């Protein structure tokens, strides 16, 4: 096994001092251009690798930003990460990305790993069963900024980047009501998470404003994945009274519902009008095309990362506490899955 090349090896090879080599490799102005180039060439030829870890210990910065998401195989999260990567790359930061797999215990383990890796900042979208965020206190105690996005902690005192989920759900439910629906099923995730709690509020408010009684049996809690869509559709098919509207908090799950309902001979939207959420690619591929809410994932990633990096500047203390939540705009995109022929 070849030994690791050090600045002492380069210095000996070129007949200069180790200090000169160190300064040249760090682009110090005290070393003239010709000497720098000679040292750079020798370092490359000899296979020298700079000790980034030691350098980071000296500077107390790693230029690494940690990101914890619920799942990586999510179209929405992929879009968010793309926005984050663009901003981080432009600012000279690297990303360390992990997934909690919707487990608070895995999230805690991820947080410990990020902390031990000395990330300069942390971006988090919470797992569905995370009930408190005490495992992020170590970052705050060290002055390392933590910012939540999409799924945010309601009482953490940290900045969050979200959309107005209550208004988005209100608009989706209102649209179904305007299409003549009066018996609307709402499918959502764990309401301990802000996004689903807020969407349930919006659904209820829309029913209330249109004098439609709320029925708790019309709320179905789900993992909101493709497999769950089939089970949800079967529950709907087996109901004594078929609903006339379906609002699902995820496009993949909604598309799976549509497929299973159609196989059972139920017409979409004539029998059941369907609305999804997120504006994933599947919403434009399923037949009929799915009405959905455009969730600006890429923009959310950009805004979250820019906000975090702004708190990593030399003049910042790195604390994001007591900052107002940043709310991005969403938009209802109406397609064939919910549009019914107007009756006269």
In the chain, domain spans: 7-50, 63-163+297-328, 165-296
Alpha helix ranges (H) inside the chain:
7-14, 18-25, 33-46, 52-59, 75-90, 104-116, 137-141, 165-178, 194-209, 226-237, 251-263, 282-285, 297-310
State the DSSP code for 315: T
For residue 39, give the nearest of 17, 56, 58, 61 by alpha carbon.
17
For residue 306, give the nearest of 164, 161, 178, 168 by alpha carbon.
161
The 3-state DSSP class for residue 272 equals coil
Q: Render each residue's pLDDT in the chain as its tens digit; 344 residues.
A: 467 788 888 989 999 998 898 888 877 888 898 998 999 899 888 888 766 545 554 556 788 999 999 999 888 999 999 999 999 999 999 999 999 999 999 999 999 999 988 899 999 999 989 988 999 999 988 889 999 999 998 766 678 999 999 999 999 999 999 999 999 999 999 998 899 999 999 999 999 999 999 999 999 999 888 889 999 999 999 999 999 999 999 999 999 999 999 999 999 999 999 999 999 999 999 999 999 999 999 999 999 999 999 988 644 444 455 456 899 999 999 999 999 865 43
**CATH number belonging to domain 63-163+297-328:** 3.40.50.2300
Q: What is the pLDDT of residue 115?
A: 92
> Domain 165-296: which topology?
Rossmann fold (3.40.50)
> Domain 7-50: which topology?
434 Repressor (Amino-terminal Domain) (1.10.260)
Q: Residue 156's Cα: distance from chain center in Å?
A: 18
Same fold, 63-163+297-328 and 165-296: yes
Q: How far is CA 318 from CA 69, 141, 142, in A?
A: 22, 11, 9
Q: What is the pLDDT of residue 1?
A: 47
Q: How is 46-89 classified by DSSP, letter by letter?
A: HT----HHHHHHHHT---EEEEEES-SS-HHHHHHHHHHHHHHH
Half-sphere exposure of 100 (CA within 13 A, CB side): 26
d(CA 146, CA 160): 9
Q: What is the pLDDT of residue 264?
A: 96
Nearest 10 degrees: CA dihedral of 338, 339, 340, 343? 130
The 3-state DSSP class for residue 261 equals helix
Q: What is the pLDDT of residue 313?
A: 67
């Amino acid at each position: 096994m070849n030994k690791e090349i050090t600045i002492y090896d380069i210095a000996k090879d070129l007949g200069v001092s180790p200090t000169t080599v160190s300064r040249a490799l760090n682009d110090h102005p005290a070393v003239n251009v010709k000497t720098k180039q000679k040292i750079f060439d020798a370092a490359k030829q000899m296979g020298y690798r700079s000790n980034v870890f030691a350098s980071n210990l000296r500077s107390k910065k790693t230029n690494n930003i940690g990101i914890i998401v619920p799942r990586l195989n999510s179209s929405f999260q992929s879009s968010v990460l793309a926005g984050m990567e663009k901003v981080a790359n432009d600012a000279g930061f690297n990303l360390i990305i992990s997934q909690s797999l919707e487990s608070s215990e895995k999230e805690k383990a991820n947080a410990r790993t990020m902390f031990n890796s000395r990330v300069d900042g942390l971006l988090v979208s919470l797992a569905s069963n995370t009930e408190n965020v005490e495992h992020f206190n170590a970052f705050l105690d060290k002055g390392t900024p933590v910012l939540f996005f999409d799924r945010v902690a309601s009482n953490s005192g940290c900045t969050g980047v979200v959309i107005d989920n209550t208004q988005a759900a209100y608009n989706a439910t209102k649209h179904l009501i305007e299409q003549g629906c009066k018996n609307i099923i709402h499918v959502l995730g764990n309401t301990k998470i802000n996004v689903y709690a807020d969407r349930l509020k919006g659904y209820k408010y829309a029913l209330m404003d249109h004098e439609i009684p709320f029925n708790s049996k019309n709320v179905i809690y789900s993992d909101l994945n493709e497999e769950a869509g089939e089970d949800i559709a079967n529950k709907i098919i087996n109901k004594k009274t078929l609903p006339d509207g379906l609002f699902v908090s995820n496009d993949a799950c909604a598309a799976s519902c549509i497929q299973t309902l159609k196989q059972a001979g139920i017409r979409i939207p004539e029998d059941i009008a369907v609305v999804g959420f997120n504006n994933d690619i599947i919403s434009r591929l399923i037949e009929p095309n799915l009405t959905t809410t455009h969730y600006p994932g890429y923009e959310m990633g950009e805004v979250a990362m820019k906000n975090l990096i702004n708190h990593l500047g030399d003049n910042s203390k790195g604390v994001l506490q007591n900052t107002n939540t940043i709310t991005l705009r969403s938009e209802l995109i109406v397609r064939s899955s919910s549009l019914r022929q107007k009756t006269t």
